[in-house]
DNA sequence: TTTTTACACTACAATATGTAATGGAAGGTG
DNA sequence: CACCTTCCATTACATATTGTAGTGTAAAAA
């Protein structure tokens, strides 16, 4: 029955937003990122397309995201409208920068190796940018 | 008084092992990684150089690491000796591979940009490897 | 045999996250 | 105006993870 077998497995497979947020938090961030500012109710409605969810649950999580400075709340009359502090791009930019820098700092060569392995999957324009950067670096270092 | 000000700040600054482990777990993994297999007592003694710590605390955490398949326990008479399932290099290798792949999958260009930014800090031999890889890729793609 | 050592079992606290009940305030409707 | 609906604040509980440690037991040492 494979019961709790996986309960104790080291989990390093969190992907994307779930690396930074809990599942509900991630969904909410994505909803807010992919549109204009929204009320709790609106977010709830969107979430409900997937699965019923309590209004207050959504509210609590959204307000926690405000506490964490990831969303801003704006009052419009009695209503509150929420929107992300940073765009998804900015956020990802920052996060991936941090991750990449840390990885390079800590594991240097290892990471570069993997990046290299993964480069096959990357598109041509990136390769070109990489090449340029390399040429530039070579100039600098000489 | 700046009391709980930081309590709600989004924390994305976990570094190194603390990205994967709690602080005590990380210390223990590092101890086990940087030497031969050790008993709980030995680990405790090492940890105690920093700060007093209960034997049972160390034991519990170590056994949890066994449950998570990060350590193996070997019985030698009444004693148990613990050692990492993977070397630190293997572990880092895997983790950084996963992280890198995920990052590339999800944010592609963004990450490459940051890698590029960070390349300045990387040593010469890595640059050379990068160059080789690039040349090779260019061949393949043509 | 008594004492010490090492381990198992169990429990508890703090934090993070998801969930939701309760109650109050604001605004619309009859 | 009284009533009802909508939205929000407050509060709480559940679960998982991590750090902490007490108690009991079995085996080794003295």
Question: Is a pLDDT exceeding 80 seen at residue B50?
Answer: yes
User: Are A48 and A101 members of one domain?
Assistant: no
- Could you tell me the pLDDT band of residue A71, with boundaries at 50, 70 and 90? very high
Question: Region A69-75: what's the mean pLDDT?
Answer: 92
CA nearest B63 in A: which residue?
A8
Report if CB A102 to strand C is under 7 Å.
Answer: no
Residue A6 lies in a domain: no
Query: Are A47 and A62 within 8 A, CB to CB?
Result: no
| SS3 of B63-126 | HHHHHCCCEEEEEECCEEEEEECCCHHHHHHHHHHHHHHHHHHHHCHHHHHHHHHHHCCCCHHH
User: Are A94 and A130 members of one domain?
Assistant: yes
User: Are A96 and A71 members of one domain?
Assistant: no
Question: Region B35-52: what's the mean pLDDT?
Answer: 94
User: Are B20 and B70 members of one domain?
Assistant: yes
Total structural domains in chain A?
A: 2
Find the domain containing A47 and state its range: 11-84
Looking at residue A16, its pLDDT comes to 65
User: Are A80 and A95 members of one domain?
Assistant: no
Residues 71-110 of chain B within 7 A of strand C, judged by CB, are: 78-80
> Rounded mean pLDDT of chain B?
80
User: Are B24 and B80 members of one domain?
Assistant: yes
Residue B7 lies in a domain: no
Closest nt to residue A10, judged CA to C1':
D17
Cα separation, B119 vs B117, in Å, equals: 6
- Closest CB to B119 among A67, A121, A137: A137
CA distance A37 to chain B (A): 21
Cα separation, A81 vs A62, in Å, equals: 11
Residues 11-70 of chain A within 7 A of strand C, judged by CB, are: 21-26, 53-54, 56-57, 59-61, 64
Residue A49 lies in a domain: yes
Least confident of A67-71, B31-35, B57-61, B87-91: B87-91
User: Are B79 and B95 members of one domain?
Assistant: no
Q: A118–B98: do the CB atoms touch at under 8 Å?
A: no
Cα separation, A3 vs B81, in Å, equals: 29
- Could you tell me the pLDDT band of residue A77, with boundaries at 50, 70 and 90? confident
Looking at residue B12, its pLDDT comes to 55
The more confident residue out of A31 and B124 is A31
CA distance A63 to chain B (A): 11
Q: Which of B51, B68, B84 is the last residue of a domain?
A: B84
User: Are B134 and B102 members of one domain?
Assistant: yes
**3-state DSSP call for residue A69?**
coil
CATH of the domain at A65: 1.10.10.10
CA to C1' distance (Å), from B61 to C4: 24
Number of A/B CB contacts below 8 angstroms equals: 146
| ipTM (interface predicted TM) | 0.74
Residue A47 lies in a domain: yes
User: Are A27 and A75 members of one domain?
Assistant: yes
User: Are A73 and A92 members of one domain?
Assistant: no
Looking at residue B3, its pLDDT comes to 29
User: Are A60 and A100 members of one domain?
Assistant: no
Cα separation, B107 vs A98, in Å, equals: 13
User: Are A77 and A21 members of one domain?
Assistant: yes
For the stretch B103-127, pLDDT in tens is 667 666 666 666 666 666 666 777 7
Report if CB A9 to strand D is under 7 Å.
Answer: no
- Could you tell me the pLDDT band of residue B128, with boundaries at 50, 70 and 90? confident
């Amino acid at each position: 029955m494979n019961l709790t077998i996986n309960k104790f497995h080291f989990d390093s497979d969190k992907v994307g937003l779930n690396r930074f947020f809990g599942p509900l938090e991630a969904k909410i961030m994505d909803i807010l990122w992919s549109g204009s500012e929204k009320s709790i109710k609106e977010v709830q409605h969107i979430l409900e397309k997937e699965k019923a969810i309590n209004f207050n649950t959504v509210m609590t999580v959204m307000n926690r995201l405000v506490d964490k400075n990831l969303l801003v709340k704006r009052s419009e009359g009695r209503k509150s409208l929420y929107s992300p502090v940073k765009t998804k791009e900015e956020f990802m930019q920052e996060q991936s920068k941090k991750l990449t820098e840390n990885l390079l700092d800590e594991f240097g060569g290892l990471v570069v190796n993997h990046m290299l392995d993964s480069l096959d999957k990357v598109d041509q324009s990136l390769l070109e940018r990489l090449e340029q950067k390399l040429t530039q670096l070579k100039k600098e270092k000489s």
